[in-house]
């Protein structure tokens, strides 16, 4: 017993859910059979099978193929049918004459294999004369060879395809990443309007339709007003017949309505594939019904393949030219970096090459301690925020986007300079990057009508209603830059590898230098300690014997003689004090830093009480704020703090009222301490000398001292991992700072 196919009606509530590959119906310009691959039993057939057999379709279901094409026909075709491979495109086996006696007609017998069945399609022959396909293909190939741009390629293909098919309009249509389509090339007569340059939304050709175009390369609709023919199946019915590759497959009612709205009565689409993916379509439209024979459709399929090959050749040529240009710029940057040994200066001092390297409008080199820019860029604060976001997101090698604000919303504030970003990470430890920026390219997109599809009431809800108008509808697109080309991204990665190599080489050189300096410093400290230690005894002897000489012969010495002896004693005592300071400085480099929690408030108060004798007539105002806790070696920090406070007292002694302030605060990862006075100050031109050993900015006759105190301060703070610096105005005072790593307890 036989029954009709139980395929579900199409879901018109959503184009993406419509089962267009199993419509259960065919177009009426032919007859379709599905026969078992093993024994050629007829399992399914279109309801119009009687037009070629004279018998009802139901009577032939479950029977042999010979009931349709005769025993001789089966013997003649069986070998070729057995050789059909599942998944391959339909093949026209031959032209056959079928039909009731006296009513025979010619049909192209087209076959393909699918899911254990052979799909046989008997498509009625087109009687109209068409151009010879071989010469048409030769003409197209000759035209494509001269095309230098995608626009030329598209227009030439459209012109040759229209000459071959006779359609009123041929479009070459490109899909973007979102599935929207843009008409790149067109050839037409006056029967249909121009769509050149217009964009069609992805919803016009929904996702599953694009996938069907990818696997089935040619689709033909000779008459939009056709009456679909159902497909019957023998019992028991198992599954709908997959018509993915069927030439006669009926199309979605929504698409037919869409064609009518476009005033397109007949259409043909041929897929253009790149690397197995759907790149676009060659799409033909006609204002009246039009049939295109199988041989012409097959030639159009070859047109699409020739187009794809020429497109690949053009893109390879353009990519190669860009690679050569990029390579030349890369070589220059690499030579500069290698020569300087400093990739930052090497890049920034060659701004033109740095920007041209990836065709950028601006660039930045950013690390934990600096941010340098060239060209048009966001602010340094915005760049640092961007670098921190990249680092937090794990983008430590390469990152690129032409629509940065979609992934990093704060970029919306600087889209005019940096809608596009290409960044390479140069550190795994902190947010270090070389960044290139491209500005926003404001574009006007010309849509073929309002891209929004409307919904119309229907039983059980609403159904999709195709757009009624295809008049140009303009949209301004913002927030995107030009895309980064593959050659540019690859070159940036190569530059990153070169920078990492420069940094590693520099690190090795610095490590070797550090080791050598450590050894030299160790030898110098040993020498200094030995010399200082050995000088102490002779200096004591000089002072001792000079004192004894003064006491024993004082009654016989003139005033001048006594002045000489006093000078010997004072100079020897100063030399002894200097030796003691040198010994302390030397020991400082040898001592182990024992870190404990140090209360600076208590330490400062103890030093302050020691500095001024109770009977002193000096007026000193101390302004000491509460100081944050720190971790460090208490003995060393006392020495550093005492030196700074002693200097503040000493260099403000000419003031009627000395004001000494001691403050501290936490900033980032540091605790910063400041000692400020209103003393004589110093000239900032010599600030770099302050913390050097034996460096003095004032004469010893005016202000006593050995010139070692601030050197000791720097050594103490350096051994704690901190920094020292100073600021001053001559005659108005000075402030000395030091920082320590911020305590976590």
How far, in Å, CA of 652 to CA of 692, rounded? Answer: 22
Q: Is the pLDDT of residue 89 over 70?
A: yes
Instruction: Give pLDDT, residue 6.
Output: 40
How far, in Å, CA of 520 to CA of 528, rounded? Answer: 12
Encode pLDDT of 424-482 as tens digits. Answer: 888 777 888 989 998 887 655 555 555 655 445 444 444 445 555 555 555 555 678 88
Q: Which of 494, 497, 364 is nearest to 432 (CA)?
A: 364
Instruction: Give pLDDT, residue 459.
Output: 45
How far, in Å, CA of 635 to CA of 612, rounded? Answer: 21
Determine the distance from the C-alpha atom of residue 198 to the mean position of all C-alpha atoms in its chain, rounded to a whole number. Answer: 29
Mean pLDDT: which of 84-98, 130-144, 516-530 is highest? 84-98
Structural domains in the chain? 2-124 (3.30.450.20), 342-437 (3.30.450.270), 485-590 (1.10.287), 592-745 (3.30.565.10)
Q: Is the pLDDT of residue 25 over 90?
A: yes
Query: Per residue, what are the HEC states of 257-279?
Result: HHHHHCCCCEEEEEEEEECCEEE
Mean pLDDT, to the nearest integer, of 560-585? Answer: 66
Structure tokens at 55: 């018998």
Instruction: Give pLDDT, residue 12.
Output: 42
Encode pLDDT of 214-240 as tens digits. Answer: 999 999 999 999 999 999 888 766 678
Count of Cβ atoms closer than 10 Å to residue 11 Cβ: 13
Instruction: Give pLDDT, residue 181.
Output: 86
Enumerate the H helices of 166-293 as residue ranges: 207-215, 253-261
Mean pLDDT: which of 94-103, 325-334, 510-519, 669-678 is highest? 669-678
b/e per residue 402-426 (b: at least 16 CB within 10 A): bbbbeebeebeebbebbbbbbbbbb
Kindly give, in sequence order, each residue whose CB lies less than 8 Å from that of residue 194, ignoring residues fewer than 6 positions away: 186, 188
How far, in Å, CA of 229 to CA of 26, rounded? Answer: 5
The angle that helices 600-611 and 634-650 make with each other, rounded to 10 degrees, is 40
Output the average pLDDT for the chain: 80
Q: How confident is the model at residue 421 (pLDDT cuts 50, 70, 90)?
A: very high
How far, in Å, CA of 119 to CA of 175, rounded? Answer: 31
Instruction: Give pLDDT, residue 497.
Output: 78
């Amino acid at each position: 017993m036989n029954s009709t196919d139980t395929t579900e009606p199409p879901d018109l509530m959503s184009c993406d859910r419509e089962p267009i590959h199993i419509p259960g119906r065919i177009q009426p310009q032919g007859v379709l059979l599905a026969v078992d691959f093993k024994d050629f039993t007829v399992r399914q057939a279109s309801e119009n099978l009687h037009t070629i057999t004279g018998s009802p379709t139901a009577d032939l279901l479950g029977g042999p193929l010979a009931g349709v094409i005769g025993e001789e026909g089966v013997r003649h075709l069986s070998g070729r049918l057995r050789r059909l491979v599942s998944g391959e495109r339909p093949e026209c086996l031959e032209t056959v004459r079928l039909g009731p006696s006296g009513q025979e007609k010619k049909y192209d017998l087209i076959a393909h294999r699918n899911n254990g069945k052979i799909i046989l399609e008997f498509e009625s022959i087109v009687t109209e004369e068409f151009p010879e396909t071989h010469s048409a293909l030769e003409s197209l190939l000759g035209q494509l060879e001269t095309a230098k741009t995608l626009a030329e390629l598209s227009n030439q293909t459209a012109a040759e395809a229209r000459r071959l098919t006779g359609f009123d309009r041929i479009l070459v249509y490109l899909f973007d990443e979102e599935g929207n389509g843009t008409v790149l090339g067109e050839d037409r007569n006056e029967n249909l309007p121009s769509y050149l340059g217009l964009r069609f939304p992805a919803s016009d050709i929904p996702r599953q339709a694009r996938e069907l175009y990818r696997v089935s390369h040619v689709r033909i609709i000779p008459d939009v007003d056709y009456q679909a023919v159902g497909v019957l199946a023998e019992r028991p019915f198992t599954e709908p017949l997959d018509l993915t590759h069927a030439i006669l497959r009926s199309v979605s009612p929504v698409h037919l309505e869409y064609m009518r709205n476009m005033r397109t009565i007949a259409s043909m689409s041929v897929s253009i594939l790149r690397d197995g993916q759907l790149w676009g379509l060659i799409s033909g439209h006609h204002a009246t019904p039009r049939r295109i024979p199988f041989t012409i459709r097959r030639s159009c399929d070859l047109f699409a393949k020739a187009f794809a090959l020429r497109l690949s050749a053009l893109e390879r040529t353009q990519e190669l030219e860009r690679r050569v240009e990029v390579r030349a710029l890369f070589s220059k940057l690499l030579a500069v970096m290698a020569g300087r040994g400093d990739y930052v200066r090497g890049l920034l001092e060659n701004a033109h090459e740095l920007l041209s390297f990836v065709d950028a409008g601006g660039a930045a080199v950013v690390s934990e301690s600096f941010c340098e820019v060239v060209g048009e860029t966001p602010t340094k604060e915005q760049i640092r925020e961007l670098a921190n976001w990249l680092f937090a997101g794990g983008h430590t090698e390469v990152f690129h986007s032409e629509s940065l604000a979609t992934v990093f919303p704060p970029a919306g504030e600087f889209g005019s300079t940096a809608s596009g970003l290409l960044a390479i990470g140069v550190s795994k430890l902190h947010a270090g990057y070389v960044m290139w920026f491209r500005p926003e390219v404001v574009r006007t997109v010309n849509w073929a009508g309002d891209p929004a599809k409307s919904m119309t009431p229907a039983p059980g809800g609403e159904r999709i209603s195709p757009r009624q108008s295809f008049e140009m509808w303009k949209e301004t697109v913002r927030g995107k830059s030009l895309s980064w080309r593959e050659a540019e991204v690859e070159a940036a990665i190569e530059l990153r590898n070169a920078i990492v190599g420069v940094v590693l080489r520099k690190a090795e050189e610095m490590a070797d230098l550090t080791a050598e300096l450590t050894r030299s410093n160790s030898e110098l400290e040993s020498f200094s300690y030995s010399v200082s230690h050995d000088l102490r005894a002779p200096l004591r002897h000089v002072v001792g014997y000079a004192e004894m000489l003064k006491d024993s012969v004082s009654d016989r010495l003139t005033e001048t003689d006594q002045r000489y002896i006093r000078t010997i004693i004072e100079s020897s005592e100063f030399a002894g004090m200097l030796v003691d300071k040198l010994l302390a400085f030397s020991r400082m480099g040898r001592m182990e830093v024992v870190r404990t929690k140090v209360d600076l408030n208590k330490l400062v108060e103890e030093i302050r009480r020691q500095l001024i004798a109770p009977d002193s007539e000096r007026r000193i105002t101390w302004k000491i704020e509460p100081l944050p806790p720190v971790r460090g070696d208490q003995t060393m920090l006392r020495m550093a703090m005492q030196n700074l406070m002693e200097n503040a007292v000493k260099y403000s002694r000419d003031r009627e009222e000395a004001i000494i302030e001691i403050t501290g605060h936490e900033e980032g990862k540091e605790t910063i301490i400041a000692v400020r006075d209103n003393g004589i100050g110093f000239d900032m031109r010599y600030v770099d000398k302050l913390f050097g050993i034996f460096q003095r900015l004032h004469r010893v006759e005016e202000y006593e001292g050995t010139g070692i105190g601030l050197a000791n301060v720097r050594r103490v703070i350096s051994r704690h991992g901190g920094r020292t610096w100073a600021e001053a105005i001559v005659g108005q005072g000075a402030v000395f700072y030091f920082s320590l790593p911020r305590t976590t307890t």
